[in-house]
Amino acid sequence: MSFTYEQSALYCEAVALADIAARAGTPVYVYSSQSILDSFRAYDDALTGIPHMVCYAVKANSTLAILSLLAKAGSGFDIVSGGELFRVVKAGGDPSRVVFSGVGKTPEEVDYALAQGIHSFNAESEAELSLIDAIANRRGVKVSFALRVNPDVDAVTHPYTATGLRDHKFGIDISDVEGVYERARSLKNLVAHGVSCHIGSQLLSTSPMMDASDKMMALVGRLRASGHCIQYFDAGGGLGVSYKPADQAPEIGQFIASLRAKLAAKDLKVMIEPGRSIVGPAGVLLTRVLYRKSTGRKEFVIVDAAMNDLIRPALYQSHHEIIPLRETGRAGVVADVVGPVCETGDFLARGRTVANVMPGDLMAVCTVGAYGFVQASNYNSRTRPPEVLVEGSQWRVVRTRETYDDLIRGEQI
């Protein structure tokens, strides 16, 4: 466990979080490097013995220091934009271990990815394939691709994070995909080396992914029988994490073991694109209580972090545990934990039993390493918070707090 209480004070690894809040200010995102590396290695180790590439999904947290940590540990990367590729390169990631996913790649992004020499594209439409082929032709290069298959499997997650049903914008319908591979033979700068799928995010049961894998393995058999040299299966990301103490998140090693069982004797390289399960549990958002307020019917804890810092509760009604940096032993209180932004949707928790904190007290919003800072905005002209990386008893600011000048950068009157 990377976040633990020692003598009533909350620690990240061997650093008291109150020390970070005192020196870096609040709100502040804090990440445990140990937790990130442990999760990455859980994937990598479970895939030992078969050709594989763990491609961390950059969208979950694209901070350079985190990309660098993962690059040094040997991770590949799953990107969905030119900007994410730029970050990977800046962080020292190896472009030849990058897969480019996403439904709307622009010509400029495709050209940039080819110039950097990425591993492959996960293409989501026939029109996109033609575009990649034309740009590769202009550059005089050949590139591997997989079609992202929409397997029509219900991922059983929040509707905004499910992607594998026929009605979703993602991928190519499994019943059409063989025709697309067939027609792609005429594209001389593309090689059909893979198949890919990603059915959704925050999956607390792996059975939808196993159902999708069954469909994908049958597809690989049919494609090979028609003469396509399929060498890899990209299983996407999606493994859920425990946001509530009662959540039973799948264990990474067990998930990979079941996946491996599906591939047995298929002679396929496995690619996997985990995001949340690598960085989610590794991050907390520290916030200071500004005020307490009671309407008689309702109790509010007003804190200095808001929906612009962490939009997940407002956008997906997601639950994040909120715990005090110092345990007091006082009885809890049922309250809404809200931020300073002028919206009723600006809450971090509603009707939650939390510690009976007072103005000046510090709290940690838990499990925010994934889709936390990356979805932060400057709404209400609030500066985005700094980020801190902890390594054992050391910590450092890896992104400074924005200033008012940052808020108006690039603007003209």
Q: Please, is 389 exposed, middle or buried when counting C-beta atoms within 10 Å of its C-beta (0-12, 13-18, 19+)?
A: buried
198 or 262, CB closer to ligand LLP? Answer: 198
CB of 277 to ligand LLP, least distance (A): 6
User: At closest approach, how far in Å is the CB of 278 from ligand LLP?
Assistant: 8
- Least Cα distance to 31 among 283, 277, 286 occurs for 283
Specify whether 366 is catalytic.
Answer: no
Q: From the CB of 375, what's the least distance to ligand LLP, in Å?
A: 6
Residue number with CB closer to ligand LLP (151 or 274)? 274
- Based on CB atoms, which residue is closest to ligand LLP, 238 or 250? 238
Q: How far is the CB of 180 from ligand LLP (least distance, A)?
A: 18
Nearer to ligand LLP, 150 or 277 (CB): 277
Q: Which residues bind ligand LLP (CB under 6 A)?
A: 57, 59-60, 78, 101, 161, 198, 201-202, 236-239, 273-277, 312, 316, 370-371
Q: How far is the CB of 328 from ligand LLP (least distance, A)?
A: 31
Q: Which is nearer to ligand LLP, 11 or 29 (CB)?
A: 29
Q: Is the dihedral of CA 349, 353, 355, 360 positive or negative?
A: positive
Could you tell me the two tokens for 151?
A: 């397997």
Three-state SS string over the chain comes to CCEEEECCEEEECCEEHHHHHHHHCCCEEEEEHHHHHHHHHHHHHHCCCCCEEEEEEHHHCCCHHHHHHHHHCCCEEEECCHHHHHHHHHCCCCHHHEEECCCCCCHHHHHHHHHHCCCEEEECCHHHHHHHHHHHHHHCCCEEEEEEEECCCCCCCCHHHECCCCCCCCCEECCCHHHHHHHHCCCCCEEEEEEECCCECCECCCHHHHHHHHHHHHHHHHHHHCCCCCCEEECCCCECCCCCCCCCCCCHHHHHHHHHHHHCCCCCEEEECCCHHHHHHHEEEEEEEEEEEECCCCEEEEECCCCCCCCHHHHHCCCCCEEECECCCCCCEEEEEECCCCCCCCEEEEEEEECCCCCCCEEEEECCCCCCHHHCCCHHHCCCCCEEEEECCEEEEEECCCCHHHHHCCCCC
**Nearest CB to ligand LLP, comparing residues 288 and 312:** 312
Q: How far is the CB of 147 from ligand LLP (least distance, A)?
A: 13
Candidates 12, 229, 342, 366; catalytic one = 342
- CB closer to ligand LLP out of 130 and 161: 161
- Catalytic (active-site) positions: 342
